[in-house]
């Protein structure tokens, strides 16, 4: 998945002037302020999918900048940039998470799958998903939606009703609690220790629930919002055991990926209910305890590059020689039509020229022209490959048990 609106730098600048008595801000001055702000924004926030730098310029005789940002140092950098140009500009910082949240800056997803959108509206583009038990940082609330940053640092809007909203103390209690991870592809939680009882909700693989006790052949569990339910013992695994596994190997990643074969492509999907291309790779790694960045263009920047070129051209023989199972492949639809085509697709290499991808649905294809499952378009648009499994623990390739939002506090932590 690679939303076009997120590829280039996006800076929200409202150039508003008040027609007050005599003069308004000179348009040349406004343009200069805008240019300086854009330059600072590009440097401070090169990827608006993971941080925020929005500003509004107002004023009459003296310009005033209202800056909304997730970066504490951004306002000072902006003031310094204006001062270097000899400009007297008042900068008012609105740091996120918003003070209006009154400390309730954490949330835990309470639905089997929550849909995150580009703007706070039902009709808006879905850009990612989060599954039950996912911990998030809440940045602000608006129109019944919360702007959240998920563990992969992706920022998007989700309905506030999809979250159990918490303050720091409540969130620490959730992190400290014994939990279970749901291990079936799909299933249900029940109101009693009986599969014929009323259902509490659906569940998908990777969902997290608080463990309360065992009753007969069931676990008694609690949702992040306090709802109580029962799930069969055979459908879940102790969370501590699940996250403490050794780093996965290629065989484990591919075994998980194959369980998604036939799953329909869904723009923004990152769950068993549907996946886009990077949602597929991300989910295949997450279910093995590893958090990757959300989008294909972000994943294309992590891990170790694999040489697949011969004389500036992608070489099939180099691919077959140098690629290993578990490597990520990256494709650019505009290859050959642009000098630096953007990455628009990703897949997982399986070996012997085969790869598994979400394209229409999750399926296995080959880059070998003579193969029955040869994928001509993907083979022609392949631009790079990255080795991920050897780089677990490096920036943005994070074990769940080492992520700050998932780490279970020790008894000594406050």
Report the mean per-residue pLDDT for the chain: 92
In the numeric block, the tokens 């990827």 are attached to 47
Higher pLDDT, residue 70 or 407: 70
Q: What is the pLDDT of residues 107-120, one digit of tens each?
A: 999 999 999 999 99
Q: Is the pLDDT of residue 379 over 50?
A: yes
Instruction: State how beta strands 274-275 and 270-271 pair.
Output: antiparallel
The DSSP result for 137-172, as a single string, is EEEEEETTEEEEE-TT--EEEEEGGGEEEE-HHHHH
Same fold for the domain at 100-174 and the one at 177-243?
yes
Q: Band the pLDDT of 1: cuts 50, 70, 90.
A: low
Q: Any idea which of 20-24, 37-41, 396-400 has the lowest mean pLDDT?
A: 20-24
**What integer pLDDT is reported at residue 412 of this predicted model?**
53
Contacts with 230 (C-beta within 8 Å, 6 or more apart), sequence order: 189, 190, 191, 192, 193, 194, 197, 215, 218, 219, 220, 221
**What integer pLDDT is reported at residue 198 of this predicted model?**
98
Domain boundaries, the chain: 4-96, 100-174, 177-243, 250-398
Range 177-243: architecture per CATH? Roll (2.30)
Range 100-174: architecture per CATH? Roll (2.30)
| Cβ-based neighbour number of residue 306 at 10 Å | 19
Instruction: State how beta strands 345-351 and 270-271 pair.
Output: unpaired
CATH fold of the domain at 250-398 = endopeptidase fold (from Nostoc punctiforme) (3.90.1720)
Q: How far is CA 287 from CA 119, 128, 188, 228, 381, in A?
A: 28, 16, 19, 24, 28
For the residues 316-345, what does the mean pLDDT come to? 96
How much is the pTM? 0.92
Q: Say if domain 4-96 classifies as CATH 3.30.300.
A: yes
**What integer pLDDT is reported at residue 214 of this predicted model?**
97
Contacts with 380 (C-beta within 8 Å, 6 or more apart), sequence order: 335, 336
Q: What is the pLDDT of residues 275-284, one digit of tens each?
A: 999 999 999 9
């Amino acid at each position: 998945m690679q939303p076009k609106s997120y590829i280039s730098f996006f800076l929200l600048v409202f150039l508003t002037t008040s027609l007050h008595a005599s003069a308004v801000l000179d348009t040349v001055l406004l343009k200069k302020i805008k240019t300086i702000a854009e330059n600072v924004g590009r440097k401070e926030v090169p990827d608006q999918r993971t941080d925020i730098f929005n500003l509004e310029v107002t004023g009459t005789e003296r310009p005033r900048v209202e800056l909304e940002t997730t970066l504490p140092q951004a306002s000072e950098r902006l003031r310094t940039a204006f001062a270097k140009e000899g400009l007297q500009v008042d900068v008012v910082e609105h740091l996120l998470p918003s003070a209006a949240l009154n400390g309730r800056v954490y949330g835990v997803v309470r639905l089997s799958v929550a849909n995150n959108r580009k703007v706070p509206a039902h009709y808006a583009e879905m850009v990612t998903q989060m599954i039950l038990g996912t911990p998030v940082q809440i940045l602000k609330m608006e129109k019944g939606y919360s702007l959240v940053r998920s563990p992969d640092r992706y920022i998007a809007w989700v309905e506030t009703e999809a979250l159990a909203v918490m303050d720091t103390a409540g969130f620490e209690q959730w992190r400290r609690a014994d939990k279970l991870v749901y291990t079936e592809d799909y299933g249900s939680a029940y109101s009693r220790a009986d599969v014929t009882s009323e259902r509490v909700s659906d569940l998908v693989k990777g969902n997290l629930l608080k463990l309360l006790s065992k009753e007969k052949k069931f676990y008694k569990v609690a949702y992040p919002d306090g709802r109580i339910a029962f799930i069969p013992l055979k459908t879940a695994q102790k969370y501590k055991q699940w996250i403490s596994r050794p780093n996965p190997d290629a065989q484990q990643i591919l075994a998980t990926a194959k369980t998604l074969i036939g799953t329909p492509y869904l723009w923004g999907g990152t769950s068993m209910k549907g996946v886009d291309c990077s949602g597929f790779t991300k989910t295949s790694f997450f279910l093995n305890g590893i958090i990757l960045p959300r989008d294909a263009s972000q994943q294309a920047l992590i891990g170790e590059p694999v040489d697949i070129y011969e004389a500036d051209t992608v070489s099939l023989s180099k691919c077959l020689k140098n690629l290993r199972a578990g490597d990520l492949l990256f494709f650019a639809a505009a290859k050959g039509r642009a000098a630096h085509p953007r990455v628009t697709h990703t897949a997982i290499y399986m070996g012997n020229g085969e790869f598994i991808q979400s394209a229409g649905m999750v399926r296995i294809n080959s880059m070998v022209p003579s193969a029955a499952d040869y994928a001509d378009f993907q083979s022609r648009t392949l631009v790079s490959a990255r080795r991920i499994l050897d780089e677990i623990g490096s920036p943005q390739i994070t074990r769940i048990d080492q992520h700050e939002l998932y780490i279970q506090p020790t008894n000594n932590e406050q």
